[in-house]
Amino acid sequence: MREFLSALNRVRDRTSMKQQSALLTALLSILVVAAMTTATTILIRDRAVGIANHQMTDLAQSMADRLDQEMFERFREIGNFASLHPLRDSWDGAPEAIRRLLDQMQRTLPRYAWIGYASLDGEILAATGGTLEGVSVAERPWFIAGSQATSALDLHEAKLLADILGPSEDGAPFRFVDVAAPVRDEAGNVQGVLGAHLSWSWAQSVRSYLLGALEPDLRTDLWVTASDGSAILGAPYGQPVLSPGQLQIARQTFVGGEGDGTYLAAAVSTKGFETYPGLGWIVVANRPMSVVLADANRVTLAIVLIGTFAAVVGIAASFLIAGRVTRPLTRLAADADRLGRAAAETSVFDRQRGSSDILRLSNSLRSLMRRVDSAESRATEVRDLMERTEQAHSVQTLEHRETVRRLRYLADTDPLSGLMNRRSFLGDAQDVMTFYRRYDRTFAVLMIDIDHFKRVNDAHGHAVGDEVISAVGRVLAELARETDRVARFGGEEFVILLREIDSASLTTWAERVRRAVHAAVVATEAGPVSVTVSVGATLVSADDRDVEDVLHRADVALYRSKSNGRNRLTVSPARTAE
């Protein structure tokens, strides 16, 4: 987190207000576009999924209803046929007569693959086409259930008929749904069982009809599963389609598959119809998620493109607006930078407009300059008076000369640290700058700031803080050479001017300063106190207009040291001031 904040501070310090305003506007635009796109995408996707759920639930329900109705018709048909009063005598007749009845019934509804009549002992007495006549079906489930009541049995593969019927058109085994009913005599006693194998192809026909009514692009499919969730139509036979948890819900929607094969599905259980109790089949309508969300994705893309265009327009507009808003500040900064650099230039700020804050700042700076000019005028008058006084007293006593020397010392010295103050330092620094321009004798500037100095004052009081400042000043003075200049600029900030030094020596010297302060222990009334310092250093450059440019560059380097964690050195390249 600290590294992130440090990086953020560096970016902030190296960008203008115009750039920061434009960048913030850009980020805001991106966030707004992202939020709108996300919210819209969620709504559109939810709506698309909801519509698809509704469509597939209706489709699955239609398939389930048709399965129930078809099975009900066959269930009722076999039950009625077995109990028709006019046919009671026929069941006792010759097998040929019974066979003719069954053949006629099969011709009426070809979905019956086989219809047969078995005696009470399980022997097939008559069957369509004479198939399986004389064969015992006493152990077959349909015969056992049909001897008790009209029954429908779940889908199964042909066993006795497999060799007779041969393979189906698609090569898959024949599968049937059995319907059986007891045949009773006049006394109501069961005398035989009428059974029918209903070809499963009729369910495939229903499935094909319902899917054919849909648009091919929707890529919707219909599966039918047994009560245990294994596929009996649509998907590979016997393949698990529904999990045990999904089987507990009669009507549901869920997402299945993995990766690109994910699909949205709606499951509806068959319930039976009237007297037909149902076999527990479950119909599953499914559609690939890529199809379900295709329209939503296209709309989302359109929203992203429109939002991106709006964001770009907003960013461009923000650059223009930020430039216009910050232009007065830029002009004020330029006016301030020109102060005192050329005698021909005025020291008065131009009045800037743009907002009430800008106007107030402009007026305040103009007022400040008037006060500075007034103070400089009074100082000039004092200096003139002193010169006239000295000229008038050309013969001065030793005591008078000592008094003048002490006054000048006090005027040039920081009373707390005993170092040079800002005014005297700047005077000497300007002389060094002039010497550099004339003889190309390089110098460097170090800006030094005590880390977390406020904590020292808060923890031990201002008196201890003053002792720390005095002690740091002594450390710096002891390290300085005779030609160097050390000053306290105010507060906990110090500056050192190093003459005759190169880049490599500057780094070594500045690190020595940092380590010396770190190693020093200040003995105070509150006990020993240790502090660290952050250091910013730079060499003079030919591009520097005056010593203020050098100081400014060193100050920027100092700020980077503090932003990067303190107790460290940052050397700014010798180039044009930032």
At 148-204, the pLDDT tens digits run 999 999 888 877 676 666 666 555 677 889 999 999 988 889 999 999 999 888 888
3 state SS of 342: coil
Separation in Å, CA 82 to CA 87, 135, 143, 409: 8, 20, 13, 133
> CA nearest 497: which of 578, 430, 567?
430
Residue 345 confidence (pLDDT): 43
E strand segments, 158-296:
175-184, 190-199, 221-225, 231-233, 251-256, 263-269, 282-288
Counting DSSP H helices and E strands in the chain, the numbers are 15, 17
pLDDT digits (tens, 9 = 90+) for 38-88: 888 888 888 988 888 888 889 999 999 999 999 999 999 999 988 887 777
| DSSP class of 92 | G
| DSSP class of 420 | B
Percent over 90 (pLDDT), the chain: 33
Give the containing element (helix H, strand E) for 282: strand 282-288
| Sign of CA pseudo-dihedral 369, 375, 378, 380 | negative
Structure tokens at 253: 């929607």
Residue 26 confidence (pLDDT): 74
Between 382 and 68, the higher pLDDT residue: 68
How far apart CA 299 and CA 312 sit, in angstroms, is 20
> CA nearest 431: which of 420, 421, 441?
441
Average pLDDT over residues 246-260: 63
How far apart CA 370 and CA 347 sit, in angstroms, is 9
**423 pLDDT band (50/70/90 cuts)?**
confident
How far apart CA 8 and CA 373 sit, in angstroms, is 39
Terminus-to-terminus CA distance in the chain, angstroms? 27
CB 129 within 8 A of CB 103: yes
Reply yes or no on whether the pLDDT at 95 is more than 80: yes
> Cα dihedral angle (458, 462, 464, 468), rounded to 10 degrees?
100
| DSSP class of 351 | P
Residue whose tokens read 């998907």: 235
Residue-by-residue DSSP string for 99-149 = HHHHHHHHHH-TTEEEEEEEETTSBEEEEGGGTTTT-B-TTSHHHHHHTTS
Residue 374 confidence (pLDDT): 53
Percent over 70 (pLDDT), the chain: 78
Residue 391 confidence (pLDDT): 62
Residue 434 confidence (pLDDT): 92
Residue 366 confidence (pLDDT): 59
Between 32 and 504, the higher pLDDT residue: 504
Report all structural domains of the chain as residue ranges with CATH numbers, in order of start: 49-294 (3.30.450.20), 411-572 (3.30.70.270)
**If you average pLDDT over every residue of the chain, what do you get?**
82
Query: In b/e form, how buried is each residue of 361-380, taking b as 16+ CB within 10 angstroms?
Result: bbeebeeebeeeeeeeeeee
pLDDT digits (tens, 9 = 90+) for 428-438: 999 999 999 99
Residue ranges of alpha helices (H) inside 394-535 are 398-412, 422-439, 453-460, 462-479, 503-519
> CA nearest 499: which of 488, 513, 486, 517?
486
User: Which of 17-21, 87-91, 256-260, 438-442 bottoms out in mean pLDDT, i.e. has the lowest?
Assistant: 256-260
> Cα dihedral angle (95, 100, 104, 110), rounded to 10 degrees?
60
- Count CB atoms within 10 A of the CB of residue 332: 18
CB 311 within 8 A of CB 33: yes
